[in-house]
Amino acid sequence: MAKPVREGPPLLPYAGPVTPVDLSATVLHAVRRAVSEDALRAPVPARVRVERTRPGGHGDYASAVALQLAGPAALSAREVAEILRDRLAGAPGIASVEITGPGFLNFTLDASAGAAAHHALVHRVREEGERYGYGDDLAGQRLGVVHAREVRAAVTADAVRRLLTAQGAVVRLSCEGEPDADWARLGVAADAYGKPPAGPGADRQPPGVAADAHGQRPGAGRQAADAVTADAVRRLRRAQGALVRVSCEGEPDADWTRLGVSADAYGKPAAGKAGASRQVLGAAADGHGQPPAAPAAGRQRADAHGGRAVEGPAPAGPGTPTPPAPIRPVPAGETAAALLTRLGPDATRWGLLRPAGHDRAALGPDLLVQTEANALFRVRYAHARARALGRGAALLGLTAAGPGEGIEAHEAPTLLALLADYPAVLTAAARHRAPDRLARHLEAVAGAFFDFHDAAPPLPVGDEKPSAAHRSRLAIAEAAGTVLAGGLSLLGVSAPEHL
C-alpha cells in the first residue's frame, strides 16, 4: 500500500483575526492528518477546544487535545502533542507551537498575519451587520426547549431559542403550564404548553396550542408582507388573551427575524391521510413542517410540551427532533406584571438573563440607574455612542475606512480581540443554553470600546484635521456598535441609537 502523501500545512479560515474557532479547525485538521497517516491511532473528536492562555502562560492560545487523545492512542500526552506539532508547523497565522506541562499545545500568533486579519474582521462585521456571528453549527437540527411556568424560565428559554436559531437550528418552545399573558410584553411566545393528551389521535394536534379567539390559526404566505401581517394578527389576538400559532406555507426567510417575525411552523400539511384536515395549514404535528408519525408500539415519544422522555431507541438522523431541553433557572420571585411595572421590559430581561441560571437574579432599581455601575446602561450607552460617532462624522464629511484602506489595529487590540471572539461566544452560549455568557461578553465589549474611545478619539478634537487614523477608528467603532446591537437583539433587549 502506498504511503499517504504528506499534505501541506492546514489553512486557517481567515475571516478575522486568528480566533479559538480558527485554531480549533486547524488543530482538528492536524488530528485528521495524523490519523490518516497512521501516526496516531485514536478516534477523531468532533471538536477541539482552544482557549486564550491565562496570565503568565505561554503563547496566545492553548489546547489540551493531546491529553484528550493520549488514552485512546496508547501514547503519552507529550508524544501525541509532538505528533500534532509537526503537522501544525508553518500554518498561516501561527508563528510557533510550543509544548508545555504534560502535553499542552501553546500557540503564538504571527503579528503580521494578525494585522491583515484585523482588517478583514472589521470589514466583515460592517458587511454582515447584526447577523455577524450567526453560524450553521446546528443547521438541520430540530430542538425542543421546555420551561417552567415562571417568568425567569420563560425569558431564559426565549433567549435560548434566539441563540439556537442564530446557529441554524429549528427550535420549538413550550411551557409546562399555560403561559402568563404578560409574558408577551417581554417578547416571549410559547409554541405550545401543557402535558400531551393521551388517547387516539393525540399526536395530530399539539396540546395547548389554541388557535385564535375564533378557533382559527393565522397562516402566513411566503411574501414578507404576508408574514408581517400574520405576525401583527398574532400580537393583536394574544392581547385579547388568545394563544395563537403562526405558520408559513414555505420555509421562512431568515431576514424576517429583523422585522420581528418568527413562524412557529412551515410547510404544507400531509395529504391523503385520515385526520389530515385537522392540521393547521403549514404546521405539521411536530411543528417543524414534517407530517406526524404513528406512535411506535410499546414506547412513548418525547415531545416539546414537558412530556416524558423517549422510552426505547432515540430517534436519529438529520432533522430528527431531540428530547426537549428543560430550562429551570432560580425563580425570579416576582410575576412578569410586577417586574414590568417596576423596571420595564428591557431592564427586566437583562436582569433575568445577566446572572447564570444557578444564581439569583438581581432585580433592584439599580437596573434603571444611568451610571457606569449599571452594566445594562453601560452596554446600551456604548452602542448609542458608537452610532453618535457615525452621525458626528457625517456632519464633518468624514467617512469610515473602506475595504481597501488600512485598520490601525494597534489602537484597539482588546476590542478587536473581543469582536473576533464574538462568533465563538454565540456558539458556546447556544450549545450550553447560557445567554448569560453573551451578556457578559457584551459588557466586556462595551468596556473595551470606551477604553479605545478615550485613548484614540474617532473624531478630530479641537484644531485636529481629519486623517486616515480617524477613518480607521470610525470603522472600528462602527463594528463595535454593530456587535453590541446584534448581541442585545439576541437577548431581546432594545439598542437605542439615542440614550
Are the C-beta atoms of residues 416 and 17 closer than 8 Å to each other?
A: yes
Q: Which of 29-38, 248-257, 350-359 has the highest mean pLDDT?
A: 350-359
User: Residue 238's pLDDT is what?
Assistant: 67
Question: Burial code of 61-90, b = ≥16 C-beta within 10 A, e = fewer?
Answer: bbbbbbbbbbeebebebbebbebbbebbee
What gap in Å lies between CA 474 and CA 457, rounded to an integer? 9
What the block records as the C-alpha cell of 458 is: 474617532
What the block records as the C-alpha cell of 145 is: 426547549
Q: How confident is the model at residue 388 (pLDDT cuts 50, 70, 90)?
A: very high
User: Residue 284's pLDDT is what?
Assistant: 32
Indicate the average pLDDT of the chain: 79
Which residues, at least 6 apart from 29, have a Cβ–Cβ distance to it below 8 Å? 10
pLDDT at 415 over 80: yes
Q: Would you say how long the chain is, in residues?
A: 499
Q: How confident is the model at residue 489 (pLDDT cuts 50, 70, 90)?
A: very high
What gap in Å lies between CA 385 and CA 439, rounded to an integer? 19
User: Residue 23's pLDDT is what?
Assistant: 80
Are the C-beta atoms of residues 167 and 137 closer than 8 Å to each other?
A: yes
More confident residue, 204 or 442: 442
Going 267 to 273 to 279 to 280, the CA torsion angle's sign is positive
pLDDT, average across residues 37-59: 84
Among the listed ranges 11-20, 140-149, 275-284, 398-407, which one has the minimum average pLDDT value?
A: 275-284
Bridge partners of 193, per DSSP, are 175
Is the whole model's pTM more than 0.75, yes or no?
Answer: no
Are the C-beta atoms of residues 191 and 206 closer than 8 Å to each other?
A: yes
pLDDT at 306 over 50: no
pLDDT in tens, 179-189: 999 999 999 99
pLDDT, average across residues 426-446: 95
Which residues, at least 6 apart from 132, have a Cβ–Cβ distance to it below 8 Å? 124, 125, 422, 423, 482, 483, 486
Among the listed ranges 143-147, 216-220, 422-426, which one has the minimum average pLDDT value?
A: 216-220
Q: How confident is the model at residue 146 (pLDDT cuts 50, 70, 90)?
A: very high
Q: Provide the 8-state DSSP code for 19.
A: -
Q: How confident is the model at residue 273 (pLDDT cuts 50, 70, 90)?
A: very low
SS3 of 143, please?
strand
User: Residue 480's pLDDT is what?
Assistant: 97
User: Residue 82's pLDDT is what?
Assistant: 94
pLDDT at 9 over 90: no
User: Residue 417's pLDDT is what?
Assistant: 86
Q: How confident is the model at residue 444 (pLDDT cuts 50, 70, 90)?
A: very high
Place of cell 410575576: 335
Q: Which of 16-25, 29-38, 225-234 has the highest mean pLDDT?
A: 29-38
pLDDT at 47 over 70: yes
- H helix runs in 60-130, sequence order: 65-73, 77-88, 111-128
Among the listed ranges 6-10, 75-79, 184-188, which one has the minimum average pLDDT value?
A: 6-10
Query: What are the start-end ranges of the E strands in 218-309?
Result: 219-220, 247-248, 265-266
3-state secondary structure 118-131: HHHHHHHHHHHHHH
What the block records as the C-alpha cell of 157 is: 428559554
User: Residue 322's pLDDT is what?
Assistant: 66
pLDDT at 324 over 70: yes
What gap in Å lies between CA 79 and CA 191, rounded to an integer? 52
pLDDT at 254 over 60: yes
Beta-carbon neighbour count of residue 291 at 10 Å? 15
Are the C-beta atoms of residues 195 and 305 closer than 8 Å to each other?
A: yes
